[in-house]
Amino acid sequence: MKETEIAYVHGRRVWDSRGRPTVEADVLLESGAVGRAIAPAGASTGTGEALDLRDGGTAFGGYDVTRAVGHVNNDIARAVLHMDAADQAALDAKLIELDGTPSKSRLGANALIAVSMAVAQAAAAAAAEPLYRYLGGPSASTLPLPQIQIFGGGAHAARRVDIQDFMVTCPGAQNFAQALNWTAEVYRAAGALMAESGALAGVADEGGWWPAFDSNEQALEALVRAIEKAGRRPGTEVAIALDVAASQFGHGGTYTLGLDKKELDTESMVALLAGWVRRYPIVSIEDPLSEDDHAGFAAFTAEVGSRIQVVGDDFLVSEASRVREAALRGAANCVLLKPNQRGTLTETLNAWKAAQDVGFAGIVSARSGETEDTTIAHLAVGWGVGQLKVGSFARSERMAKWNEALRIEEALSVRGSFAGAAALGRSKR
């Protein structure tokens, strides 16, 4: 019997940061090592994402996961029993085969990703290594450049503003800890500025300040002021990253900006965002166009992609084939990596490998519905992705990940390095 053989798998229902049910998996190995992981959940999901299986009905708004948990405890537990946790690729292939659907709709991507991640955690525990080192070996030593939300909007703030995430990133920081120091001051300054102007109205889904602004652009102005108030130079030290999440308000080449009372076609949407890029210290824009607007993505990337990072989230849904296709079209230059968009770690890693092949950058990302699970901080370092997006600088489901990356930086000590500005994607001309 092998030490890393799976002896027992157990699924249970736990609760996420929105107070919704989610799937947790425990994996016990013959050696006695245990791994645990919890599935996150999105609110602004891409149509190409693997299915987050919910019970429907009236309980908990239809969000219950008794079926997905049942799949972990029955079909999945039986199928992976005695498999080798150290062979993640074989394990994930088994999960994919067992589900048997392209969208993971039979067993649920929430059931699958909880097990896939828990198996990796168990294998790392059996090797007596932290997950990042188990995944990446001794060369896993790069701390990610963080993208941290200051204002939350879109689907995470009842569409109070159209743009979903107003974030900062710290290209001028010397290390990960300093990037967090700077962000903490910007977050505090932004809150104080909003309180002064009477615009402080609580926090959005991911802990960013609730955006009580009159226009989308006002949020950009407020963000620049907050960076300055925190004593940092906008652009060089602390820069802006946006997640437009345009699939939420754009379809078929028409974009409806509710707050700005504007209806834009693709060309004017590209022009609007390119104007912001000229006037504000923006270094990264995610989902600038909707997931179905491939031509728009290509046009936007042609216009600004040599200067800023253009990230595909709903557009690429962590899928290797979509990354390759986007690269052929010159659409985007960075892929957002969300393990639950695919349902297995291996497929998510394949998207990152495809990105590296085609010269795209990558960002490991949390979801708006999160928990204390810190697996993604380890993925960012272990896979050497170079960027990490977790939400804001408040609320423990977010801070758990930032704090875990801090511990990793401390453990790596002088062997570690900070990805910094070099991690940002840029298209080659």
Q: Name the residues that contact ligand 2PG, by CB under 6 A.
A: 42-45, 164-165, 206, 243, 245, 313, 365, 367-368
For Mg ion, which is the closer residue by CB, 28 or 113? 113
365 binds, among ligand 2PG, Mg ion, none (CB under 5 to 8 A by kind): ligand 2PG
How long is the chain? 429
Q: Is 409 in the site for Mg ion (CB under 5 A)?
A: no
CB of 339 to ligand 2PG, least distance (A): 12
CB of 132 to Mg ion, least distance (A): 24
Residues 6+ apart with CB under 8 A from 294: 326, 329, 331
416 CB burial (10 A radius; 0-12, 13-18, 19+) = middle
For ligand 2PG, which is the closer residue by CB, 75 or 372? 372
Closest by CA position to 250, among listed 297, 309, 317:
297
In this structure, what token pair is assigned to residue 312?
């595909």
CB of 378 to Mg ion, least distance (A): 21
Question: What is the residue whose two structure tokens read 């728009």?
Answer: 296
Q: Is 313 in the site for Mg ion (CB under 5 A)?
A: yes
CB of 31 to ligand 2PG, least distance (A): 35
The stretch near Mg ion (CB under 5 A) out of 218-226, 277-285, 310-318, 326-334 is: 310-318
Q: Is 185 in the site for Mg ion (CB under 5 A)?
A: no
**Per-position DSSP letters for 139-182, written without gaps between them:** G--EEPEEEEEEEE-GGGTTTSSSS-EEEEE-TT-SSHHHHHHH
Active site (annotated) includes residue 353: no
DSSP type of residue 72: I
For Mg ion, which is the closer residue by CB, 104 or 156? 156
Asked whether 122 and 34 are in contact (CB, 8 A), the reply is yes
Most distant pair of Cα atoms in the chain: their distance: 66
367 binds, among Mg ion, ligand 2PG, none (CB under 5 to 8 A by kind): ligand 2PG
Q: Are strands 34-38 and 21-29 parallel, antiparallel or unpaired?
A: antiparallel
Asked whether 230 and 182 are in contact (CB, 8 A), the reply is yes
Interface of this chain with Mg ion, residues 72 to 131, rule: CB under 5 A:
none
Residue of 104, 237, 338, 409 with catalytic role: 338
Instruction: Please give the Cα distance from 289 to 285 (Å, whole number).
Output: 10
Asked whether 144 and 388 are in contact (CB, 8 A), the reply is yes
Q: Which amino acid is at 148?
A: I
Q: Is 49 in the site for Mg ion (CB under 5 A)?
A: no
Interface of this chain with Mg ion, residues 369 to 408, rule: CB under 5 A:
none
Residue of 24, 49, 185, 206 with catalytic role: 206
Asked whether 209 and 169 are in contact (CB, 8 A), the reply is no
368 binds, among Mg ion, ligand 2PG, none (CB under 5 to 8 A by kind): ligand 2PG
CB of 159 to ligand 2PG, least distance (A): 13
Active site (annotated) includes residue 338: yes
Residues near Mg ion (CB under 5 A) are 243, 286, 313
Catalytic positions: 206, 338
